[in-house]
Structure 1
Amino acid sequence: MKTADCDILIVPGLGGSGEGHWQARWAGRLPTARIVAQDDWHTPSRDEWCGQVAAAVREATRPVILIAHSLGVVACVEAVPLFPEGVVRGALFVAVPDVEEAPNLPDTVRAFAPLPRDPLPFPSLLVASRTDPHCSYDRADDFAHAWGALTVDAGESGHINIASGHGPWPEGLMRLAGFMKGL
């Protein structure tokens, strides 16, 4: 699948994806991409965030590819039952937070627990870091296995955001291109 043949929905996590974040950069580079906006980036509501993701999928005019980071991954996975059948063709999930067990997460993020364990109805990749402060690699791999996603080992990459040195993140863009080629 080519980017021109689909709507790419970029779903940021808590706080949104600022100007230097790889998601914001990708939204500017990929002509069919747009960021799924949330009304409140700092005090997330499970129902509102999932509703925004589902609405964006329903409004798409072409097949959808989801690109989600952190709490955006959780919102996407929890919104799956709200998606029209067959519209989402694939997803690149990056740095899922363990909303069930990770220490130091705000209560508003913990309110997204428990994470669904049902297999996803579309192919997906879950990029996970071995040094993510919000999810151990083993837990991320377990989530991926439950969802039927392929785990991509990002090594010692922190939370795969600006703070961990991932501004443009060209490796991720190459991974996305390879994934889409196989769809």
Structure 2
Amino acid sequence: MSGQAIRYLILPGWQGSPADHWQSHWQRCLPNACRVEQLDWDYPQRQDWVDCLEQSIASEDRPTVIVAHSLGCITLTHWAAQAPASLVRRIRGALLVAPADVERADCPEALVNFAPIPRQPLPFPSLLVGSDNDPAATPLRALELARDWGSEAAILVGVGHINIKSGHYRWEQGFAYLYRLQNLIEQQARRCA
């Protein structure tokens, strides 16, 4: 991204991302990567998670790309819906992986306080990567969220929730989507120049 010192902010979902999760691998190998640490990974409270995300974004004025997974995607949309413009400007884009549909009928009780899901477009480029067999969101629901958020979408075949349980440890192929997001960011920057 034109030589800027981009910070990659890893935003895990419910129960965090343990050491063998792809988000932890990415944190170790991406330059300038750090993670949003939540107060309670097991019993998440929406406002607490949004506040922790805001504190992480505010902690550095460097341009930031967010890499969110599952409930982290929903946390980001809640933050973006109420964030101050000065902090929104720091976000160059977001990779939204396997967003959790917290409005679905079988949503775990611990996550329902994240509903309703904000439906307005995100104020930065985003790429949503979902799956045709994700138990946390159907492919149609993932596409609906992508449309509402103004995100480009990719629905992958047979990859589950794109987590350890579905066999995604390093998820090296996910870097192709990060690269695609970076291209979207650069395209928007050229349009706005």
The bucket for the TM-score relative to the shorter chain is: over 0.9
Q: 1:27 to 1:142 in 2, by over 3 A?
A: same
Aligned residue number for residue 62 of structure 1? 62
The residue type paired with residue 139 of structure 2 is Y
**RMSD of aligned residue pairs (Cα, Å):** 1.4
**Of 122-131 and 59-68, the range deviating more from structure 2:** 59-68
Aligned residue number for residue 83 of structure 2? 82
The structural deviation recorded for 1:60 is 2.1
Mind listing any 5+ residue stretches in structure 1 that lack a counterpart?
A: none
Aligned length: 182
**Aligned match for 2:104, one of 84, 90, 101:** 101
- 1:2, 1:181 within 8 Å by CA — same for their partners in 2? no
Aligned residue number for residue 18 of structure 1? 18
Aligned residue number for residue 141 of structure 1? 143
The structural deviation recorded for 1:18 is 0.6
The residue type paired with residue 78 of structure 1 is H
The structural deviation recorded for 1:76 is 0.7
1:74-94, Cα deviation, whole Å (9 max, x unpaired): 111101122524111100000
- 2:125, 2:181 within 8 Å by CA — same for their partners in 1? no
Mind listing any 5+ residue stretches in structure 2 that lack a counterpart?
A: 186-193
Distance 2:148 2:111 in 1: 21
- 2:129, 2:155 within 8 Å by CA — same for their partners in 1? yes
1:117-170, Cα deviation, whole Å (9 max, x unpaired): 001110000000000001100001001100000111111110000110111001
Aligned residue number for residue 117 of structure 1? 119
**Paired residues for 1:152-167 under 5 Å:** 152-167=154-169
Aligned residue number for residue 5 of structure 2? 5
1:97-120, Cα deviation, whole Å (9 max, x unpaired): 1100141x3222011000000011
Distance 1:115 1:74 in 2: 7
Aligned residue number for residue 180 of structure 1? 182
How does the TM-score come out when normalised to structure 1? 0.95
**Which portions of structure 1, spanning 4 or more consecutive aligned residues, are displaced by more than 6 angstroms?**
none
Q: Secondary structure at the match of 2:180?
A: helix
How does the TM-score come out when normalised to structure 2? 0.90
Distance 1:64 1:155 in 2: 29
Q: What's the % identity of the aligned pairs?
A: 40
